[in-house]
Chains A and B, each alone.
Chain A
Amino acid sequence: MERRKFIKQAALSSFATLIGTEIVFGSKLLDGYEPLAMQNPDPFTLFSKDKGMVVLNDKPWNIEATAHLLDDKVTPNSSMFIRNNGKVPEELDASTWTLTIDGESVSTKKTYTLADLKSKFQQHTYQLAIECGGNGRKEFDPPAKGNQWGVGAIHCASWTGVRLRDVLKDAGIKDDAVYIGFHAVDVHLSGDPEKEPISRGCPMSKALQDETILAFKMNGKNIPKIHGYPLRLVAGGWPASVSGKWINRISIRNKVHDGTKMNGKAYRVPCKPIAPGDKVKDEDMCIIESMPVKSLITYPKSGAMLKKGKTLKIRGHAWAGELEVAKMEYSIDFGSTWNACTLEKPVNRLAWQHFTSEIELPKTGYYEVWARATDSNGVAQPMILPGWNPKGYLNNACHRIALKVT
């Protein structure tokens, strides 16, 4: 790929020299040779992302936000993290797209066009928090394998679609149904057509929730290609890998789905706690379901300097997987004392909640503002790293920002 880019650039620049001007259709000429828009070297333009996003990996594309880029109440596409297990599909045609419901526990295997889904079933819109299971992985010690996510693999966009439940019921769910598993059209990194990059799912109880939807719109528009156009499964509050992109088939299984990344250590944590660095057998690893309580200070950006006597306004979001956030606090003395923030109710179940506070900083010097959310079961975020696990999932340690009063 790099080689091709180089050749392209070399060829184009010699054209430029030749005619002494920008080449308007020079790029077109070579498009026939490099037809994949997805090979564009600039992911920010390609995916319409803010330039402040951090590229962790370019093959496959994995890009995350920083805390202050997530300040909006409804996350815009420009700040949404990108997580891919395989190659982004090249051809995505909504007009011919179909979704098949099959599996051991389906009454009748059925196939729907997108138009069928839109006309046959009632449409719903929910704002849903979707966080990568490995968000925060980079803090684990010993280091955990995988993309080293910081804090920005979370978003809460607005999704429109039909309830998965309505579609599954239309095809018919047998009594022995246990799990659903999705299948999609993305391509394995090795290019092997026999392999699926990812095929995960969730238990029937999650699949049948009101908010588990087959979405065809994000923030009121067609879902961007990189986020799953034309059809995405959206299961808020669970690891984002359950929210499969480019979905064309859902299997109703009579057992726990055994697709790619359902087994081994993928999206699993030790069933029983272990010491940092300990080895765990695959059979002692349990599938992650709801994500834990967590929060982010999205304003101000870390590194703010303010004059003494000025009131500091902070704001951010908090979320708690399947649960609601019941309490939000901040500390400016490393957890010695905590103060309550104003916390809003979620716009719907599984949406993140917004918090604000005003802070008086007593004297000049260096401060850290730490934020801590507590869920409706009374479980709060830890200030230090939670239980170590081999793949570095579920780091919900408190977020903090640095400040100076001058």
Chain B
Amino acid sequence: MKGETNTSIHVTKLIRLIRLSVVLLFAFIGSMIFFVFSLSFNSNPQPIETAVSTEVLDDADWDKIENGIHVRTGLIDSEGLMAVVSNCTNCHSAKLLTQNRMSADQWNETIKWMQETQNLWDLGGNQEIIVKYLTTNYPYKKKGRRAILSNIEWYELED
């Protein structure tokens, strides 16, 4: 199980690399075309930058944190974040995590369900880290049998 997971991660990385190369190639060709066009038609060309910014390749931006939030997924930056990002956001959106305020039991049950029906791999030691992250950062809130109306946007009723 673990070996398979590693292989699939390698394959994913390889695919990502190939995609990047393709984009860069396209981008390069594209910028050359535009460069030529801009010389022919634009009498006052803007300053020319390097064709494709190097930050494309910078993995730091891929997992950038801003104001305590992991930008790419919207998840709270806290212990266990990357275990959650790498195991729980490949197949579904992180929104499915943040919407659900479940107990550790419910999360463990959900993980089991995903392993049985959704091709989720064995999470090993990460399972505890992930469940702890979710129950700590997205805790269960008591709602009772009917909540009061909140977040009301007041407006003047015309007509």
Interface residues of A (CB under 8 A from B): 2-4, 6-8, 10-11, 13-15, 17-21, 23, 26, 29-30, 32-33, 55-60, 138-143, 145-148, 188-190, 192, 195, 260, 264, 300-306, 312, 368, 383-385, 397, 400-402, 404
Contact = CB atoms under 8 A, between A and B. Distances in A.
B146 A139 contact: yes
Given A56-B99, A60-B92, 12 more contacts: A2-B73, A14-B51, A18-B46, A32-B26, A55-B95, A57-B93, A139-B147, A188-B118, A195-B119, A302-B152, A305-B157, A402-B152
B11 interface: no
A384 B51 contact: no
Interface in B12-67: 16, 19-20, 22-23, 26-27, 30-31, 34-35, 37-38, 42, 44-53, 55-56, 61-62
B157 A306 contact: yes
Given A58-B93, A142-B140, A18 B31 contact: yes
B82 interface: no
Nearest to A5: B72
Contacts of A60: 92-93
Nearest to B57: A7
Interface string B67-97: 0000011000000000000000001110110
Q: Which of B117, B145, B156 neighbours the largest number of chain A CB atoms within 10 Å of its CB?
A: B145
Contact of B61 (A6, A15, A385, A401): A6
Nearest to B95: A57
Contact of B99 (A14, A148, A189, A192): A148
Contacts of A15: 27, 30-31, 34
B102 interface: yes
A204 to B, nearest CB: 27
Contacts of B132: none
A21 to B, nearest CB: 8
Nearest to B71: A2
Contacts, number: 158
Nearest to B16: A3
Interface string B101-118: 111001000100100011
Contacts of B2: none
Interface residues of B, number: 60
Contact of A189 (B26, B56, B100, B118): B118
Contacts of B91: 59, 189-190
Contacts of A385: 145-146
Contacts of B38: 18-20
Contacts of B140: 142-143
Contacts of A189: 91-92, 118
A121 B92 CA distance: 40
Contacts of A11: 23, 26-27, 30, 52, 56
Given A7-B20, A11-B27, A14-B53, A402 B144 contact: no
Given A10-B55, A17-B47, A305-B156, A141 B96 contact: no
Nearest to B140: A143
A358 B120 CA distance: 54
B71 to A, nearest CB: 9
Nearest to B96: A57
B1 interface: no
B99 A33 contact: no
A221 to B, nearest CB: 29
